[in-house]
Amino acid sequence: MTSQALAQAGRGMGHAGHGVVEVQRRSNAAPRLRPEDEAPHQILRSGRRDCSSWRWPSPFPARERLVDRPYDGSRGPAEEALRNRSHRRPSQVWRARPTLPKPGERSPVITRTTSLRTVGVFPAVGLLAAGLLASGCSAERIPQQVPSPSQSSARVITLAATPSSAAEQKRLATEFHPDDAQPTGLYLPPHTLLTVTSDRPGNAPIPELLVGTYGLDGTDSGTEAEPRTHKLQDATTEVTDGTGGMLYVRYTKDGGDPAPEITLHFGASAHSVPYHVLGRTPAAQWKSQLDQAAKDVPVAQLVADHVVLTVHLDSARRNRTQNPDDLLRRYEHILATEDAISGLDGRDPRDRRSPLRYFVSEGKAGINPNAYYDRVCYPSDLIDEALNVDALNESWGMWHELGHMHQQSSWMWDAVTEVTVNVYSLAVQRDAGQPTRLGKDGTPDAVRTYLDGSATRPAYDAKDGDPFVRLAMFEQLRLAFGDGFYPELHKLTRRAETATDPEQYLVLNASRVSGHDLISFFSAWGVPVTAQTRAEVAALGLHAPDEDPSALDVGKTS
């Protein structure tokens, strides 16, 4: 990749083991990279102490799955060269920290702090997620404008404008983001002429037609092609595409007066695919679509208010006994839970859930599940895990990848890219009533050993650090200050400029959100604290917690 989009491999954490998961970054300000501008660089790190393979475990019997490849820690020449480079964060414009309150003042984000385990007046994340779902995650009840095309026929689609992906990424202050491409349920075969007629008022923004799906047949190396775009500026536009693919429409408006709806008419050369919309398509109709799909239609698609799931047709047929509504509701619940711990409660416009959708697509066989700016990609030999309700209920891997889409840049640095993502995975696990992942594999003992060995232990940011031990630091903050801690931290971050130093940002603003001076806590964990940060925390006039958060047992479900 270019220097602005250096692929960095992290460590994935499956429900029965661990594998390498690549998380790729690019500049917020940079244009989308063309495939020819990217190179398949990645950095492979040695596995966790109980890691026996690169791959995520599958709950299904092998169906011509690739054999898991043991990783012995060796690297090829290119990987070794990359390992010796300094990792760069995205080349975005770093700005100043949020303005500090005057000495003795409390942050306006905090409404009440009465004890070690209470931050603000905030419901438990599980209750908040249930509230988000009850208030309108179904297709019939929408909490805010959601891009769900109303179709008077399969080829006539009326669309409302959405915010752009860039605007949502900026508002959410995240590294990755949901996408503004609206699905149509139509597929264009390769080298086929398509005519699109647009009924667009003169004051409406110009829509774009996208051919191809983010992450479909994708890789974990950053080399996949992105959808091709065609402006629909004229009343009638003719489009051909050498690769073909699913059709989407990007119709966005950021700020100002609302844009009018537009209606698009697609020619007969666009083929309908098996296409299920939560709350609109009967389950029996979904099965008949799978049976009757045209021979040149290679994919099937399931859509809900916050997710687009695109898979190969044979994968959908293999899982046809699954209730598609139950599957989509489970995705909606996972996303509602991760949105809840992100503080997206809708009480303020800055804290509303995004009206855009997250793309989850079937990738090539043999890759690792991975997240990129526009999508989550799951390998075809593990895709049944993404299409089976029971497996999804146990899928730490999917929770993890969707968690990457929620990470905020201001408190994410290289050492915790594959750590803070599991703040969201743990939230889903708690919501499901399952024992904490941090109670397994000797993690509580490893945490105690790390904290007790301050004289000889490696630094928190050491390259060979255990990601689950690192995760324990973030979990102790939740255990100490309650389920409101991370929602409030996310809210504060959305109101601040992007941090220049994520570690120092976390130390300062974790103290601000908790209402306690946490210098000693972070120092106990080996996180470096600068003199400037010490002075800024001191200026808040806070006291240290009555109980030491670093003494809390992360192995207990709470």
According to the 3-state scheme, what is the secondary structure of 8-63? EEEEEECCCCEEEEEEECCCCCCCCCCHHHCCCCCCCCCCCCCCCCCCCCCCCCCC
C-alpha 164/C-alpha 278 separation (Å) is 23
Owner of token pair 């958060």: 549
Q: Are 476 and 552 in contact (CB under 8 A)?
A: yes
Q: How many Å separate Cα 235 from the centre of its chain?
A: 37
Quickly count: other Cβ atoms within 10 Å of residue 166's Cβ.
Answer: 14
In this structure, the strands spanning 370-372 and 275-277 are unpaired
Q: What is the pLDDT of residues 212-269, one digit of tens each?
A: 999 999 999 877 889 999 999 999 999 999 999 999 999 999 999 999 999 999 999 9
Answer whether residue 211 shows pLDDT above 70. Answer: yes
Both tokens of residue 464? 């060979």
Quickly count: other Cβ atoms within 10 Å of residue 4's Cβ.
Answer: 17
Q: Are 254 and 163 in contact (CB under 8 A)?
A: yes
C-alpha 384/C-alpha 399 separation (Å) is 15
Q: What is the pLDDT of residue 149?
A: 42
Pick the range with the lowest mean pLDDT from 68-77, 124-133, 251-260, 383-392. 68-77
C-alpha 251/C-alpha 161 separation (Å) is 5
- Phi/psi of residue 119, nearest 5 degrees: -125, 115
Q: What angle do CA 317, 318, 322 make, to 5 degrees?
A: 85
Average predicted confidence (pLDDT) for the chain: 79
Q: What is the pLDDT of residue 489?
A: 98
Q: What is the pLDDT of residue 205?
A: 97
In terms of Cβ atoms closer than 10 Å to its own Cβ (0-12, 13-18, 19+), residue 203 is exposed
Answer whether residue 66 shows pLDDT above 70. Answer: no
Mean pLDDT of 147-172: 81
78 or 282: which carries more pLDDT confidence?
282
- Phi/psi of residue 187, nearest 5 degrees: -125, 135
Quickly count: other Cβ atoms within 10 Å of residue 344's Cβ.
Answer: 24
Residue of 327, 223, 234 whose CA lies nearest to 283: 327
Q: Are 485 and 477 in contact (CB under 8 A)?
A: yes
Q: What is the number of alpha carbons within 13 Å of residue 471 lying toward its C-beta?
A: 27
Q: Are 280 and 247 in contact (CB under 8 A)?
A: no
Answer whether residue 409 shows pLDDT above 70. Answer: yes
Q: What is the pLDDT of residue 6?
A: 29
Helices of type H across 218-319: 283-292, 313-318
Q: Are 463 and 488 in contact (CB under 8 A)?
A: no
Answer whether residue 190 shows pLDDT above 50. Answer: yes
Q: Identity (one letter) of the amino acid at 460? A: Y
Tell me the whole-structure pTM to 2 decimals. Answer: 0.79
Q: What is the pLDDT of residue 315?
A: 98
- Phi/psi of residue 222, nearest 5 degrees: 80, 15
**Taking the domains of the chain in order of start, what are their residue ranges?**
407-557
- pLDDT bucket at 383, cuts 50 / 70 / 90: very high
Both tokens of residue 22? 């690549």
Q: Tell me the three-class secondary structure of 275-340, residue by residue.
A: EEECCCCCHHHHHHHHHHCCCCCCEEEEECCCEEEEEEHHHHHHCCCCCHHHHHHHHHHHHHHHHH
Indicate the SS3 state at residue 146. coil
pLDDT above 70 covers what percent of the chain? 72
- pLDDT bucket at 526, cuts 50 / 70 / 90: very high
- pLDDT bucket at 54, cuts 50 / 70 / 90: very low
Q: What is the pLDDT of residue 225?
A: 84
Pick the range with the lowest mean pLDDT from 94-108, 344-358, 486-500. 94-108
C-alpha 376/C-alpha 176 separation (Å) is 10
Indicate the SS3 state at residue 78. helix
Q: What is the pLDDT of residue 100?
A: 34
Q: Are 498 and 410 in contact (CB under 8 A)?
A: yes
Query: Virtual CA dihedral for 143, 149, 153, 157, nearest 10 degrees?
Result: 140
| CATH assignment, 407-557 | 1.10.390.30
Q: What is the pLDDT of residue 556?
A: 85
Both tokens of residue 426? 């743990």
What is the sign, positive or negative, of the torsion defined by CA atoms of 22, 26, 32, 37? negative
The order of strands in the sheet holding 236-239 is 150-153, 156-159, 262-266, 194-199, 236-239
Owner of token pair 């940011």: 461
353 or 120: which carries more pLDDT confidence?
353
Answer whether residue 385 shows pLDDT above 50. Answer: yes
Q: What is the pLDDT of residue 132?
A: 67
Report DSSP letters for 485-542, one per residue.
HHHHHHHHHHTSPPPS-HHHHHHHHHHHHHTS--HHHHHHTT----HHHHHHHHHTTP
Answer whether residue 16 shows pLDDT above 60. Answer: no
Mean pLDDT of 122-133: 61
H-run or E-run covering 475: helix 467-481
Mean pLDDT of 23-34: 34
Q: What is the pLDDT of residue 125?
A: 60
Pick the range with the lowest mean pLDDT from 426-440, 445-459, 529-543. 445-459
Q: Which CA distances in Å does 370 have to 24, 65, 221, 354, 399?
A: 9, 18, 9, 21, 11
Answer whether residue 471 shows pLDDT above 70. Answer: yes
Q: What is the number of alpha carbons within 13 Å of residue 176 lying toward its C-beta?
A: 23
Looking at the DSSP assignment, which residues form a beta bridge with residue 22? Answer: 9
Answer whether residue 197 shows pLDDT above 70. Answer: yes
* Alpha-carbon radius of gyration of the chain: 23
Q: What is the pLDDT of residue 135?
A: 54
Residue of 283, 263, 281, 261 whose CA lies nearest to 272: 281
Both tokens of residue 206? 């110009």
H-run or E-run covering 112: none
C-alpha 427/C-alpha 478 separation (Å) is 10
C-alpha 306/C-alpha 328 separation (Å) is 9
Q: Are 159 and 262 in contact (CB under 8 A)?
A: yes
